[in-house]
Structure 1
Amino acid sequence: MTVPAVPADLTEEIVAAATEGKAWPFEEARKIIARLERKGGKDEVLFETGYGPSGLPHIGTFGEVARTTMVRHAFRVLTKDAIPTRLLCFSDDMDGMRKVPENVPNQEKLAESLHLPLTRVPDPFGTHESFGAHNNARLRAFLDAFGFDYEFASSTDYYLSGRFDDILIRVAERYQAIMDVMLPTLREERQATYSPFLPISPSTGRVLYVPMKQVNAADGTITFDDEDGTEITMPVTGGNVKLQWKPDFGARWAALDVDFEMFGKDHLSNQPVYDRICSVLGGDPPEHFVYELFLDDRGEKISKSKGNGLTIDEWLTYASPESLSLFMFQKPKTAKRLYFDVIPRTVDEYFAHLSAFGRQDAAGQVNNPVWHIHSGHPPAVEMPVSFALLLNLVSASNAESADVLWAYISRYAPDVTPESAPELDALVGYAIRYFEDFVRPKKVFRAPDETERQALSELDAKLGTLAPDSDPAAIQDAILDVARQHERYLDPKRKGPDGGPGVSGVWFQALYETLLGQERGPRFGSFVALYGIDETRALIAKALAGELAAATPSA
């Protein structure tokens, strides 16, 4: 998901539509524009995202970068790219390791390094000079693979190189003002020992949470007791200290003059603290966007140390990067379950938005998610078969190879080939992997009851009257005609074509459960058109003979 140069021929129609755009990236971009007007302008606008490398990069980290990229692009369009922008991905890798992540090897060895800065903790994977460097490399490799336009920043580098020296001296000078912000937010026992400075022990190398005996602003030094009780006086500059995480937020904003940063809802209560510290240090707090947290399949917050929920690699095993970007775009202020079952729906929604884009006017296009996902240049792709349909096709045909699925697809859409539709070819591979790992293990066929047997027999006969190349709509009508002959499948709340009761979902649920071994699925007429009328009749025969239910282990 790159941020390409905004084209010189950007039409006034698109700019005008974007100016009135309702999509959330436009709302955030307009806040940044108002900020610049209030400040009297800037030579450059800085977007920032943060990463805590205490655990492996997870999908939420990608979400921050993707969403910030969307806001950055919206800003560039609204300003016609008149102001240079940068995106800085900042890693707090000088933070002390407070606990051992549950999803990494060599945990006993890691336990020996508790409270060391992450860039001094040995890499449990044995591939980099430190655990922090390993996790930073993993993050950068992923962001690079997506083509994000960003600059990576290491907290360790900034502290050791002296880039934060000026702000650290300012913290010493305004120490009491910062304490006045922080102390009311702390418990009484924590107040007694709190300091915004965390010295790095000269004897053990660990990050120390100790009270300051003296802060000398004139000399830029602090005095404290080391772990062995020795009184130490040392400069706050040159990487000898780091800041506590709350002051670090505000100090970084002030030092770098950050204009925009988003963060999760778990930071919301601390946002006023970050802002006040930034102001105390002479900075102007950036514009914020607070997003809701992702939840796992049990409704628990996703944690990089626990490794629950979906990883970046897992999503990309079963779906495209663009579908992941769509998931990040949709309702960022609503808590969402981020687990395997959201993938098929998100994939089909992505292609639906992509299909609609070419038919929309400028106002519709700039509010279409794919405009933001592709930075204003979505590809022209029409997907003849949905992901949900492919999953059902794999299920019914027991296909284990792309060639088998393409045989069905080619009959359904003769002009489509793997070469002419690479996106569909990729989707075929995703569908096979997803089915094998998540659908097949849960498939449970049940035997039809007497009413269902009668209806299935009638459906078999009805399908036998249709031409082999009947379109999905004609097949769907035939399926509905059969259901209307059975009171069980009528829904008085719906209207049929003759004004009578319509067909309830109970009929389709029966078809899914007896023929496909699942509770729900796509439009059944479309499935039959893709799978084949004769093949569907053979499937019905197996269900009536009890062969499908007998093949279910729990049956």
Structure 2
Amino acid sequence: MKHWIERIADDLKEWNVEKHVIASGTSISGSIHIGNSCDVFIANAIGKQLKEMGEKSETIWIADDHDPLRKVPHPLPESYDKYLGMPYSNIPCPDGCCDSFVEHFEKPLLDVLDDFGIELTPKSGFEMYKDGSYNEYIRIALKKADKIREIFNQYREHPLSEDWLPYNPICDECGRVNTTTSYDYNEENDEISYKCECGHDGTINITSGNGKLTWRVEWAARWKIFGVTCEPFGKDHAASGGSYDVSKVISEEIFDYKAPYPVPYEWITLNGDAMSKSQGVFFTPKQWLEIGPAESLNYFIFRSKPMKHKDFSPNMAFLDFMDQFDKVEKVFFDEEEAPSEKEAKKFKKIYEIAQIHENEGLPFRPPYRFLTVAYQIAGNKPEKIFEILKKNSQLTKSFENKEFGSLTEKELADFNQRIKNVKNWLDKYGPKFVKFQVMKKIPRLELSDDQKTFLGNLANLLEKKEFNSAEELHDEMYEILNSDGLKPQKAFQAIYKMILGQKQGPKAASFILSLDKDFVVKRLRMEE
């Protein structure tokens, strides 16, 4: 069973090149989120796989930081609309915390690359224009403008004008790049004449860096500049007659370079909505690390094929997702069994691709969902949380016989990090119904006589018997409520009312076993 990353690497190995260059790129138009950073994650995985196969490989990331600002990104004020049309590279930092707009939005991604085990060489589109990397390709494109126009027109409903040139200068007057139109090129002095919608008519030298190739020509040019052999990109570029189709022809017919192996991927939605930097609908890799381990984002991206729809929700659905991730991780490390042999192979292959630290062994990550309960009972007290886990049989075979004091430094670090993730999830995304607080004093809430009888009988049971599992206690609780003729809902409501001061709470049996026994007995008997 091969993962799709491995199949891509197999295909690339047949290219018989001296070195593979896997390219990724991101428009720095606002916060870089888990949707538009898929380029980076997929490119890194392909490059890593090629190296494991003995191929020379480099992963690069190109910041498209010379493109024009088309929408004001969240959470910038509306006053930033004065920069619309200007290259990101010429826009100041919105908070004054960085040297530029570009650094402000790319830094959060670059800062977490190590956390995700991503190795890449960063490049800047702006710097490439400034240092002359594009100069020769601009000249070629301008000299072959008629041929490029012919290629473009094959994919256009309305043909381009006869004097159209594949280059947009930055207007000397208004500073915008998406409002200029080039109409003449002087080969002798590398000057372009242009008009701008602001009314300015000017000339610019292409070696100044104060302009850029039109996107599909630029994309093809940089494939040749870097020797790109593979590039992941969003499905919009992969549409029939879209950017990749056009750039592929330009690459081969204008720049005499074989277009790279394409890896298109489906966009990631957030709670069912398309991610939007301008609307503030996005979730970043840095935000992910606040609530989950880096491997879990890799798992989210690599568990299904790239063109399969992926929706992410940091709310209750995240607990279901973490249940799946925890299961896959434990199957990989032979801590749990998969539902079938086929599933076991599938789980292990996906986790193998998602894994970051290959030689560190099983991380100590107790069940995420259960920790949302244990944390609210014990607070930020790892030792107490550990005892609750043990009491409720939540530790896998490698840890079930361990004591808290025998955890290694790494295991303790893993444990503390998971507790921190759970706390952040509860604080930021946990819905009200999963949150609770053990009341220090008996809540003054009314109970029926049969509820009081049930609580008294439950207190007697807990006092005289030790329970080894939540399942065992659960069964005996049902025996009591059935003998008392009480409906389960009423019985459990009585427990939650007395301990939490509300009508609902976590699974009753494991919740009771997680609390101090003497406290529970007294509270069920309504004794202070």
Give the TM-score of the pair, scaled to structure 2.
0.78
CA distance, structure 2, for counterparts of residue 415 and residue 532 of structure 1: 21
- 1:354 corresponds in structure 2 to 329
Alpha-carbon distance, 1:464 to partner: 3.9
Tell whether 2:101 aligns with 1:131. Answer: yes
- 1:336 corresponds in structure 2 to 311
CA distance, structure 2, for counterparts of residue 262 and residue 122 of structure 1: 30
- 1:503 corresponds in structure 2 to none
Matches within 5 A, 1:212-231: 212-215=182-185, 221-226=191-196, 229=199, 231=201
Change (3 A) 1:56 1:485: same
Alpha-carbon distance, 1:318 to partner: 2.2
- 1:24 corresponds in structure 2 to 4
CA distance, structure 2, for counterparts of residue 214 and residue 62 of structure 1: 38
2:404 to 417, 428, 437: 417
SS at match of 1:425: helix
SS at match of 1:112: helix
For structure 2, the 5+ residue unaligned runs are 393-399, 437-444
- Alignment check: 8 A CA contact 1:444 1:513 kept: no
Deviations 1:273-330 (A, max 9, x none): 2322322332212112222212222x21112233223233332222222222222222
Structure 1 stretch 427-436 or stretch 374-383: which is displaced more?
374-383
2:226 to 251, 256, 273: 256
SS at match of 1:143: coil
- 1:89 corresponds in structure 2 to 61
Matches within 5 A, 1:529-540: 529-531=513-515
SS at match of 2:274: coil
Tell whether 2:282 aligns with 1:286. Answer: no
Q: Which residue identity lines up with residue 41 of structure 2 in the other structure?
A: A
For structure 1, the 5+ residue unaligned runs are 1-19, 491-505, 546-555
Deviations 1:108-139 (A, max 9, x none): 2x333222211111111213332123323333
Matches within 5 A, 1:163-242: 163-186=133-156, 188=158, 195-215=165-185, 221-226=191-196, 229=199, 231-242=201-212
Matches within 5 A, 1:456-471: 460=458, 464=462, 467-471=465-469
- Alignment check: 8 A CA contact 1:193 1:211 kept: no
Alpha-carbon distance, 1:103 to partner: 1.1
Alpha-carbon distance, 1:373 to partner: 2.1
Change (3 A) 1:511 1:94: farther
CA RMSD, aligned part only?
A: 4.3
- 1:74 corresponds in structure 2 to 49
- Alignment check: 8 A CA contact 1:315 1:343 kept: no
CA distance, structure 2, for counterparts of residue 94 and residue 365 of structure 1: 42
Q: Which residue identity lines up with residue 471 of structure 1 in the other structure?
A: S
Q: Which residue identity lines up with residue 326 of structure 1 in the other structure?
A: Y
CA distance, structure 1, for counterparts of residue 38 and residue 435 of structure 2: 35
Count of residue pairs the alignment pairs up: 495
Alpha-carbon distance, 1:210 to partner: 3.5
- 1:433 corresponds in structure 2 to 424
CA distance, structure 2, for counterparts of residue 58 and residue 342 of structure 1: 19
Tell whether 2:29 aligns with 1:54. Answer: yes
- 2:87 corresponds in structure 1 to 117
CA distance, structure 2, for counterparts of residue 92 and residue 404 of structure 1: 49
Deviations 1:150-194 (A, max 9, x none): 100000111111111222222123222322232354464976896
Change (3 A) 1:383 1:453: farther
- 2:396 corresponds in structure 1 to none
Change (3 A) 1:353 1:443: closer
- Alignment check: 8 A CA contact 1:512 1:520 kept: no
- 2:370 corresponds in structure 1 to 389
CA distance, structure 1, for counterparts of residue 81 and residue 481 of structure 2: 64
Change (3 A) 1:425 1:129: closer
Change (3 A) 1:407 1:279: same
- Alignment check: 8 A CA contact 1:351 1:383 kept: no
Q: Which residue identity lines up with residue 417 of structure 2 in the other structure?
A: A
- Alignment check: 8 A CA contact 1:250 1:278 kept: yes
Alpha-carbon distance, 1:340 to partner: 3.5
CA distance, structure 2, for counterparts of residue 370 and residue 403 of structure 1: 29
- Alignment check: 8 A CA contact 1:50 1:92 kept: yes
2:73 to 80, 101, 106: 101
CA distance, structure 2, for counterparts of residue 448 and residue 415 of structure 1: 43
Deviations 1:465-519 (A, max 9, x none): 98424134544555677799999999xxxxxxxxxxxxxxx99998999898798
CA distance, structure 1, for counterparts of residue 7 and residue 140 of structure 2: 34
SS at match of 2:24: strand
CA distance, structure 1, for counterparts of residue 404 and residue 353 of structure 2: 29
1:296 to 245, 270, 287: 270
CA distance, structure 2, for counterparts of residue 518 and residue 274 of structure 1: 61
- Alignment check: 8 A CA contact 1:344 1:388 kept: yes
CA distance, structure 2, for counterparts of residue 33 and residue 206 of structure 1: 43
Identity across the alignment (%)? 19
Alpha-carbon distance, 1:50 to partner: 0.8
- Alignment check: 8 A CA contact 2:18 2:56 kept: yes
- 2:214 corresponds in structure 1 to 244
- 2:294 corresponds in structure 1 to 321
Structure 1 stretch 172-181 or stretch 457-466: which is displaced more?
457-466
Q: Which residue identity lines up with residue 288 of structure 1 in the other structure?
A: P
- 1:272 corresponds in structure 2 to 245
